[in-house]
Amino acid sequence: MPALCADVLLLISREIACADRQSFRAASKDFSFTVSPSFFKSTAIILDLPRMMDNPTQLDVGSSSGWSQFGRTLVIRSLRGEETKSGSDLVKTPLTDFLTSLKELRSIHWTLVNGDLEWAYQTVQSAFASFSKLENLTIIDKRTSDMPIDLTKMLLAAPLTNLRSLNLAKHVKAPAHYNPALFAELWSALAERGVQLTSLEVPTPDSALLDYLASYSSLESLMFSAGDDDAMADRFFAEILPNHATTLLSFICSARKRYQPPCGANWTFSRRNATAISNLKNLHTLEMSVPEYDPEVDYVSMLIEAATTHLPALRVFAVLGSTYIWRRRRCVRYGGDEKRDCKPVRRYRDIQATVDDYALAHEGDPEVSRLVASHRARIEVRRRASFTEMWG
């Protein structure tokens, strides 16, 4: 009978929303025992150092706690705080013990912000060696500091056997801060250890990354901002992309960030790489830039035609310009005149007009209508994100 009761309680708990499981656990010991595994597995651990420094007992957990036994997701929101010896002494040891107790951790979402304490960062970095089951890692850098974190040192200290998803797209905000040498050792180590990522987002590709991607053939999602090395682009589309053609579900090769030079011509969609793109038969998502305006070649229509003709599984689609810059604006900031030249190499309006013309010429074609609608939706999302980044 007790086993039956536990089974019934488990069935009931599965019908309860994640947000309500905490209250359900508090109803009785039986409820708590039954629901705890699913509760801790589905609830993210929020690490917010300022709050924990105010109440260090939040970190007072043992190896038998629910988080230690079942916790799967760690979200690090902030490691900033007032740098005092008493404050760090109160929190450092409990923080270390807490992080190293998370033996079942699968995902980490870490946001770096201005004011992160050095000792707290070092504590988190050291704890990576304990995360033997880590599968997904996302690092977002919101700092204005020019000094990137030492990702290679941190990750190489961890057992990466189970790592499947790595998102560093927002780790480095500008090319001046992005040093491929910082990551070359990481890509080499991943290849040597036989780690085959299925999802990868990086700031921009480099030769070491291409060597790593050439070492296996099971990538499902790839996202990066295009570089300016045309020879590297030729290698990518001739060797790397075909290597993952049968498994790739999402490919986003976007323009560079605002106020940066346009991406290299060979990274944009053209006749040079049209065949490689058309062979991605299982692709669900495609967002790609087109070259500068050419009166003799309509690359926008060429990309739409390739998508509708050769990519039967495509659901999300967008034609992008060769830069993220959207418009020209003159503004006054910091007591002086500042002219922001926001005119793109390939204007958003020009691309949109060509997309509209193509849709009109193929009116009645449901596949064209669907992809054009997806393009418009994705462009609007990107445009809003660009303005948010620009004006905060």
182 within a domain of the structure (yes/no) = no
Length of the chain measured in residues: 392
54 and 147, same domain (yes or no): yes
Give the pLDDT band of residue 94 (cuts 50, 70, 90): confident
Q: Which two tokens stand for residue 85?
A: 């010896």
| Res 263: pLDDT | 64
Strand partners, 225: 254
> CA-CA distance, 198 to 62, in Å (whole number)?
34
> CA-CA distance, 118 to 122, in Å (whole number)?
6
pLDDT over threshold 80, residue 334: no
Report the chain's mean pLDDT, rounded to a whole number.
Answer: 78
| Res 21: pLDDT | 52
DSSP H/E element including 74: strand 73-78
255 and 371, same domain (yes or no): yes
Structural domain harbouring 226: 217-392
**Confidence (pTM):** 0.81
| Res 313: pLDDT | 96
34 and 92, same domain (yes or no): no
pLDDT over threshold 60, residue 190: yes
Q: What is the CATH number of the domain that holds 146?
A: 3.80.10
Name the nearest CA neighbour of 237 among 263, 212, 202, 269: 269
pLDDT over threshold 60, residue 177: no
209 within a domain of the structure (yes/no) = no
> Span 95-112, mean pLDDT?
88
152 and 18, same domain (yes or no): no
196 within a domain of the structure (yes/no) = no
270 and 390, same domain (yes or no): yes
119 and 17, same domain (yes or no): no
pLDDT over threshold 90, residue 154: no
Is the model more confident about 342 or about 89? 89
258 and 369, same domain (yes or no): yes
> Span 210-220, mean pLDDT?
96
188 within a domain of the structure (yes/no) = no
235 within a domain of the structure (yes/no) = yes
pLDDT in tens, 55-85: 666 555 554 566 677 788 899 888 877 665 5
Provide the number of structural domains found in the chain.
Answer: 3
| Res 312: pLDDT | 96
> CA-CA distance, 17 to 8, in Å (whole number)?
17
pLDDT in tens, 239-281: 999 999 999 999 999 875 554 555 668 899 999 999 999 999 9
Is the model more confident about 25 or about 70? 70
326 and 365, same domain (yes or no): yes
> CA-CA distance, 236 to 224, in Å (whole number)?
12
> CA-CA distance, 360 to 347, in Å (whole number)?
20
365 and 222, same domain (yes or no): yes
318 within a domain of the structure (yes/no) = yes
244 and 380, same domain (yes or no): yes
Q: Which two tokens stand for residue 52?
A: 């924990």
290 within a domain of the structure (yes/no) = yes
224 and 86, same domain (yes or no): no
| Res 338: pLDDT | 45
Is the model more confident about 338 or about 90? 90
| DSSP state letter for 284 | S
264 and 162, same domain (yes or no): no
